[in-house]
Amino acid sequence: QVQVAESGGGLVQPGGSLRLSCAASGSTRSIRTMGWYRQAPGQTRELVADITSNGNTNYADSVKGRFTISRENAKSTVYLQMSSLQPEDTALYYCQVIAVDTTSTVFVSWGQGTQVTVSS
């Protein structure tokens, strides 16, 4: 099993930047994809970006060109660098980790979420 812990959220003015971090622990050798999702009040949770173990990335159209996802496999950590933040980016940001064990069973782990608020 994999445990996940996010950090780095906070309050930022429009146009500002933040970097989120997510550290995984436990059976980290089985980790495949790591990603970030977000959920605004009254909205469904949506994918922001994810990254595979070999570095392939995928972004939501709404964040392309503004957000960058990266990972350090040796530290089992994924980052989300967010720039040009707008009020519509305000949400609870969750880290997701997908792991596959030796029996090919897929495990999906979520963090508790970190709040990002963009406001003047």
What's the distance, CA 97 to chain centroid? 9
**pLDDT tens-digit series, residues 60-95:** 999 999 999 999 999 999 999 999 999 999 999 999
**pLDDT tens-digit series, residues 40-52:** 999 999 999 999 9
Location of structure tokens 């469904």: 44
Contact in structure between 28 and 12 (CB atoms under 8 Å): no
Structure tokens at 37: 């999702």
pLDDT band at 101 (very low <50, low <70, confident <90, very high): confident
For residue 52, what pLDDT is reported?
96
